[in-house]
Amino acid sequence: MAGRNYWKVGLWLALGLTGTGAQADEGMWLYNHPPTQVLRDKYGFELTDAWREHLQQSSVKFGSGGSAEFVSEEGLILSNHHVGSRALQRLSSQEHNYLRDGFYAPTKAEEKPCPGIEARVLMNIEDVTARVNASVQAGMSDDAAYRARRATIAAIEKESLEQTSLRSEVVTLYQGAEYHLYRYKRYTDIRLVFSPEEQIAFYGGDPDNFEYPRFDLDICFFRAYEDGRPARVRHYLRWSKAGAAEGDLVFISGHPGRTDRLRTVAELEYLRDVEYPRTLERLKRLEVLLGSYSARSAENARRARNDLFSARNARKVRDGALAGLLDPKVMGIKRMEEGQLRAAVAGNPQLADAREAWDRIETAQREIQARSREYDMIERDYGFNSVLFNYARQLLRATRARLEPDGERLEEYRYSARSSLELELFAQTPVYEDLETLKLGDSLTWLAESLGPDQSLVKQVLAGKSPHERASELVHRTRLASPTLRQEYYKGGTQALGNAHDPMVELADLIDPPARALRREVDARREAIRQAHARIGGARYLLQGASQSPDATSTLRLAFGLVKAYEEDGRRVPAQTTFDGLYRRAAEHNFQSPFALPQRWLDHKKKLNPATPFDFVCTADIIGGNSGSPAVNRNGEFVGIIFDGNIQSLQAAFLYTETQCRALCVHSSGIIEALQRVYNAKPLVRELIGK
Amino acid sequence: MAGRNYWKVGLWLALGLTGTGAQADEGMWLYNHPPTQVLRDKYGFELTDAWREHLQQSSVKFGSGGSAEFVSEEGLILSNHHVGSRALQRLSSQEHNYLRDGFYAPTKAEEKPCPGIEARVLMNIEDVTARVNASVQAGMSDDAAYRARRATIAAIEKESLEQTSLRSEVVTLYQGAEYHLYRYKRYTDIRLVFSPEEQIAFYGGDPDNFEYPRFDLDICFFRAYEDGRPARVRHYLRWSKAGAAEGDLVFISGHPGRTDRLRTVAELEYLRDVEYPRTLERLKRLEVLLGSYSARSAENARRARNDLFSARNARKVRDGALAGLLDPKVMGIKRMEEGQLRAAVAGNPQLADAREAWDRIETAQREIQARSREYDMIERDYGFNSVLFNYARQLLRATRARLEPDGERLEEYRYSARSSLELELFAQTPVYEDLETLKLGDSLTWLAESLGPDQSLVKQVLAGKSPHERASELVHRTRLASPTLRQEYYKGGTQALGNAHDPMVELADLIDPPARALRREVDARREAIRQAHARIGGARYLLQGASQSPDATSTLRLAFGLVKAYEEDGRRVPAQTTFDGLYRRAAEHNFQSPFALPQRWLDHKKKLNPATPFDFVCTADIIGGNSGSPAVNRNGEFVGIIFDGNIQSLQAAFLYTETQCRALCVHSSGIIEALQRVYNAKPLVRELIGK
């Protein structure tokens, strides 16, 4: 292990990079394979099972993505404003814009139920690699292997759900080298407790997003209910009195979404040359579309706000990641590492079965690439960007899936995922016809541009109309905006759905055969890639030990690091910001949007202690999906909440470098000070700190 | 001719379109082939040579694009604010933001010289088709034919310039069926006289752009100087007392940029499937880039304002045009028209030489398509979006062109274009390093995405760095921001330029061989297309007479139409708006941007007559480039200025339909009322209306 690391550091130094490799606080560790030894050696910290279990079960995952934590025994959940924004958007109307203006329920009776929102707590993990792999026989085609594996995974999940009543999910780790079963307790009655104004939660707006120093109160409190009463939770985080200070060791427990550090060069080239550029094209056209729609009126801006924020945020992430992949230094490291590993494998007769793995991945990746445009357009939502279309497809596939054996269904319609699907599908959420028409019209335009308006499926989809006419007709004629009808169709099954003659369902039906065919082709190639990675993973383990955590998979991970300043363009960037800094930044920009302050923050300025820490940075290894994760100290006490990474962290999707990569947190003391002095939220503060 | 038109109308009726064809006010007519008969028949208007010459020589074209007109004998020029915005941007600084805040020089001494801006007046036109065509011999390769034609055109232009001292330009009409020599008088000392605030000039911003009803005072006054004194002009437009009212016949004289109505279906498919999608991708990524940069600070917004406006405006134009091409009705008409014409040609032995023309165009178009990505990236500016790079290329090519015979040079470096090039190249204009780095970095990223970062030219361009690092290095090390140095290098020729070792020039030099090779390939294919169009044009003339005006070519055209209301979604859209409507619209949007009003308009509201006409629409056939064109009445008096088209006019690039297509004008009475009551611009009003 040491050998590998010195070798890696040497390589990176040769390429002019420093602060990388095993000396760094790299790693998004599995809770069932925690970095116990590293923490002991580097920080003298003894990671006990009890400490770990407490943090694990205090950690919360939202069904729609994003992290959170329990912070009181009465089921109080803390997350980010931008994680809660989907719920806030759904609760808002032209009359009450909670997303923009904030919300506070001083009593439990005033807490607002959030339809369709689900919170999950990871209860335990079981390694099921052997059972999953046993289902794949030597000599199977990729497609057969994929189907066999899928059937076994479905059986494991169903069995577990029936035995434990916990949401059960088999997670693919190390790109296919391991399979672990994750079991979650679900909370489906989630209510809104407190949210600040967007203007302070997302202070600095898109310009400051992924920048540091920052001054954001990016928080949002919810409460989990069970049987109509606040959930009594055994594990929740106690609030630290002092919070974190520079040099402190902190731990981050959350759900990083995706990294690609263990990918082969062929896979990275695919990301660089195909996936990222196309995703960015999608995001930029969406950003222009929604930006232009939003500029027309305040109500439009309200309707599109969450979509627009998501598009901008994702665009910034992808732009940063693509810049990393286009940096010859980054790709140079990846090529050299792969070359070294392949050379070691080639020289070791024990590892003969891994030798072809890289070439197999390259071939499968090339085959995926050949279908990727069609796949993105037809099976992903690139060509059909519409909530209503998505309902139609879900209804169609869910009712049909019931006629198939569980093991043959697409994974999102498996028995084990059913109740979460129903929660989302039946939720009463607003649908705006004008916005739907706009989005669907633009994506149908892109479909026609991408596959050609004279391609036969495209012609059938457009039915002799222009993309905008067709979108308008579909959105105005479908009845799927009604949750009652969606529930009725769902319960009535394929028969009821067919009798409905809903044009959106008919559209979903029209494209389903080619979409399923593409899915099947691509899934088989992905299976081939998983099998090859299983071999590479085995070889790497043999050569280097378990020195690297698996790539992020939206599942719970433990990261750690120090609260630490850094240098940028020769200037020191401090580890913490203060309220004083917030007011100075606003003044520098003449209090103009996005640097304006909410009226309440202007009114209560004098009450605030200007030296209170507001945001801070640490070296812990995080990525998108970690938003809302708690930062805790050695005692497991809450010291802050992750809300962003700095711009240098964006290429950490491929390569973590400690020199400048930083995770951004709101400081625990800043939260209390704001709740007390600006929002006068006494009951909430009492629940958090007991006074 | 009548036969053709009935046939066309029948076709369109069959496709559910009305208000199209020859009964409509279609046509962007040549001044040397005016629609005399149509005007006589339809409107009882007698178009005299004197009337026409007066309007022609009162019309002005800006070198950088856009139309204008003389409105006083002292060289006063009226155009749009958005046409003048380039000059306004260049004159502005962090201290004086004339683009945003407006400008007024009550005395001539206060008028502000606009560096690099040129105004042209078309003095006469000569048909040189026979001489140009004589240079192309039967059996020549496309490349040889192109070179021969280019040499003849260069010789004609040079000869004309030397004989007349007028800027001389051979214009390709009817896609290559005719060549006319246009001679312009140039004014190169242009000064700013008056501009309103952007907030009222572009009232409603991007949301209202290409919409109607509108409330925009989109005007800007300049003055042409000669020998340091206001130019005395013989032809200028007198201001109408009453302006235009509903039902009035009006004429538009301006420079429509480009239409594609006479293109073959193969060419339209290329636009639909390749050119428009790629241009839109470029515009949307630029809009996101500049929008995000602008949001960071007010000064950033000022620096990027003109680029951002242009990107948004062009995006809206292209989105609308692409929607037209993706409308099966529009393409259906194009296919049927082409089918009819081809059938008529096939049945007529006289027209045998035109039979293959459509197939030849399709082949050439396919060959262009195969190179178009590289061409756009390397020869157009898609991969090198930077003012500084553009200077580098201009210096490199201009100094090298001097070593070539005039007839072999690229057209933009021909003898006849030299003085305009020098005016632009030596102008003292601000260059912002941060914005340049951003734009160049993003376009180098796109270059790497498009051609692949491992392609050998891309690797040479990036020189082992990431696109952003490379852009930063180039922008910070080049010295081309200095107009003095640019002039020095230009005068010193290839030798001085080589000795300068400027990294931007070295970059331009690196890509020049492949860029020139691509240019040569594409130019040869375009020549093939021109030759084929010459045959189609001949056939069409024989079969249908001169019933259609040529596609727009950024040269002076005469259009006509009625001031006329229209229907949209079952509602009548009135022909005129008033000041009263402006204030009502602002109130509906709570005076929020982009519907806010400048302080002056709030302060002087009471002084204004609320019933004064503000903007109006007419059926005249216009397109981008017509911005700033005068609308005149039967007496040739100024009644308004074109500033936009409605959203329905965007597909007029391919198909004009009178039912809803409308040209938008600022009303002459609204201009005077605003100048008097809001701006108190007495000397200016006196110059315009004599009191």
| Residue of B296, B327, B462 lying closest to A466 (CB–CB) | B327
Please tell me the distance in Å from B496's CA to the nearest CA on chain A: 34
CA distance A594 to A651: 26
End-to-end CA distance of chain A, in Å? 49
pLDDT for A546: 75
Residue A305 CA to residue A284 CA, distance in Å, equals 15
Question: Which residues in chain A touch residue B285, judged by CB atoms under 8 angstroms apart?
Answer: 280-281, 284
Of residues B277, B288, B322, nearest to A315 (C-beta):
B288
**Among residues A70, A481, A19, which one has the least CA distance to residue A237?**
A70
3-class SS at A588? Answer: helix
Mean pLDDT, residues A506-527 taken together: 97
Q: Quick check: B592 and A298 CB within 8 A?
A: yes
Confidence check: pLDDT of B227 > 90: yes
Select from B277, B298, B452 the Cβ nearest to the Cβ of A592: B298
Q: For an interface test with B, which of A466, A470, A595, A647 has the most B Cβ atoms less than 10 Å from its Cβ?
A: A466
CA dist., res. A599 & res. A602, Å (int): 5
The confidence score (pLDDT) of residue A23 equals 57
Which chain A residues have any C-beta within 8 angstroms of a chain B C-beta? 205-207, 272-273, 277, 280-281, 284-285, 287-288, 291-292, 295-298, 312, 315, 322-323, 326-329, 331, 445, 448-449, 452-453, 462, 464-469, 589-590, 592, 594
Which residues of chain B have a CB within 8 Å of the CB of A594? 295
**Residue numbers in A near B464 (CB within 8 A):** 328
Cβ of B206 within 8 Å of Cβ of A590? The answer is no
Distance (Å) from the C-alpha of residue B608 to the closest C-alpha of chain A? 27
What's the gap in Å between the CA of A526 and the closest CA on chain B?
24
Contact A326 B594 (CB under 8 A): no
Which of B194-203, B534-543, B607-616 is the least confident region? B534-543
Supply the pTM of this predicted model.
Answer: 0.92
**What local confidence, expressed as pLDDT, does residue A264 receive?**
98
Among A516-530, B298-312, B466-480, B532-546, which stretch is predicted with the lowest mean pLDDT?
A: B532-546
User: Chain A partners of B315 at a C-beta cutoff of 8 Å?
Assistant: 288
Whole-angstrom Cα distance, residue A589 to residue A596?
Answer: 8
Which residues from B are below 8 Å from A448, CB to CB? 326
Separation of alpha carbons A642 and A82, rounded Å: 11
- Residues with Cβ within 8 Å of A465's Cβ and at least 6 positions away in sequence, in order, are A473, B328
Backbone torsion region of residue B19, taken as left when φ is above 0, otherwise alpha when ψ lies between -120 and 50, otherwise beta: left
- Which among B206, B453, B469 is the nearest to A292, CB-wise? B206
Q: Write out the H or E segment, with its range, that includes residue B457.
A: helix B456-462
Instruction: Identify which of B291, B465, B594 has the shortest CB distance to residue A291.
Output: B291
DSSP B332-348: HHHHHHHHHHHHHHHT-
Tokens linked to B136: 């192309």
Output the pLDDT for position B428: 92
Contact A296 B207 (CB under 8 A): yes
Range name among A180-184, A610-614, B185-189, B208-212 with the lowest pLDDT average: B208-212
- Contact between residue B608 and residue B678 where contact means Cβ atoms under 8 Å apart: yes
Exposed / middle / buried, residue B10 (Cβ in 10 Å: 0-12, 13-18, 19+): exposed
Q: How many CB atoms lie within 10 A of CB B293?
A: 20
- Going by pLDDT thresholds of 50, 70 and 90, the confidence category of residue B49 is very high
- With a cut of 50, say whether residue A259 has pLDDT above it: yes
What stretch of H or E contains A578? strand A576-578
Q: Give SS3 for B297.
A: coil
* Longest CA–CA separation in chain B, Å: 74
Tens of pLDDT, residue by residue over A93-124, are 989 999 999 999 999 999 999 999 999 999 99
Q: How confident is the model at residue A18 (pLDDT cuts 50, 70, 90)?
A: very low
pLDDT bucket at B23, cuts 50 / 70 / 90: low
CB contact under 8 A, A466 and B285: no
Six token digits for residue B248: 């009035």
Contact B295 A464 (CB under 8 A): no
Out of B288, B467, B468, the one facing A284 most closely (by C-beta) is: B288
pLDDT recorded at residue B14: 46
Round to whole Å and give the CA distance between A279 and A446: 13
Please write the tens of the pLDDT for every residue from B421-437. 999 999 999 999 999 99
Nearest CB neighbour to B323, from listed A284, A466, A589: A466
- The pLDDT tens digits for A331-366 are 999 999 999 999 999 999 999 999 999 999 999 999
Torsion sign over Cα B476, B482, B483, B484: negative
**Complex ipTM tops 0.85:** yes
- Which is it for strands A167-173 and B566-568: parallel, antiparallel or unpaired? unpaired
**Which pLDDT belongs to residue A8?**
46
3-state secondary structure A457-514: HHHHHHCCCCHHHHHHHHHHHCCCCCHHHHHHHHHHHHHHHHHHCCHHHHHHHHHHHH
User: What pLDDT score does B546 carry?
Assistant: 75
Three-point CA angle B155, B160, B165, nearest 5°: 135
Name the pairing type of β-strands B229-230 and B220-226. antiparallel
Alpha-carbon gap, residue B54 to B47, rounded angstroms: 12
Give yes or no for residue B21 having a pLDDT over 50.
Answer: no
C-alpha to C-alpha distance for A103 and A114, rounded to whole angstroms: 13
| Chain A residues within an 8 Å CB radius of B207 | 292, 295-296
What is the Cα B43 distance to its own chain's centre? 29
The rounded distance, in Å, linking the Cα atoms of B213 and B566 is: 11
Minimum-distance CB partner of B284 among A277, A288, A445: A288
Interchain CB distance below 8 Å, B323 and A468: yes
Domains with residue ranges and CATH for chain B: 18-118+188-260+549-689 (2.40.10.120)
Q: Where are the alpha helices (DSSP H) in A165-226?
A: 198-201, 205-208
Cα distance between residue A526 and residue B32, in whole Å:
66
CB contact under 8 A, A462 and B328: yes
Count residue pairs from A and B with Cβ separation < 8 A.
95
The chain B residues in contact with chain A (CB within 8 A) are 205-207, 272-273, 277, 280-281, 284-285, 287-288, 291-292, 295-298, 312, 315, 322-323, 326-329, 331, 445, 448-449, 452-453, 462, 464-469, 589-590, 592, 594
Among candidate residues B273, B264, B247, the one with its CA nearest the CA of residue B359: B264
Whether A207 sits inside 8 A of B281 (CB atoms) is: no
* Pairing outcome for strands A613-618 and A576-578: antiparallel
Tokens representing residue B263 in the block:
């293109």
Q: How many other CB atoms are there within 10 angstroms of residue A247's CB atom?
A: 10
Tell me if A326 and B467 make a contact (CB, 8 A cut-off): yes
In the prediction, which pLDDT does A11 show?
45
Mean pLDDT of chain A: 94
Q: How close does chain B come to A208, measured CA to CA in Å?
A: 8
Residue of A208, A286, A292, A294 to mutate, testing the B interface (most B Cβ within 10 Å of its Cβ): A292
Partner-chain contact B328 A445, CB within 8 Å: no
Contact A206 B292 (CB under 8 A): yes
Say whether pLDDT at A652 is over 60: yes
Interface test with B, best of A100, A326, A655 (most B CBs within 10 A): A326
| Local confidence band at A569 (pLDDT 50, 70, 90 cut-offs) | confident
Query: Residue B282: closest CA among chain A residues belongs to which residue?
Result: A281
Taking 90 as the threshold, does the pLDDT of residue B591 lie above it?
A: yes
Give B-chain residues touching A297 at CB under 8 angstroms: 589
Least-confidence region, from A443-452, A462-471, A475-484, A538-547 = A538-547
Question: What is the torsional sign of CA A572, A576, A580, A585?
Answer: positive
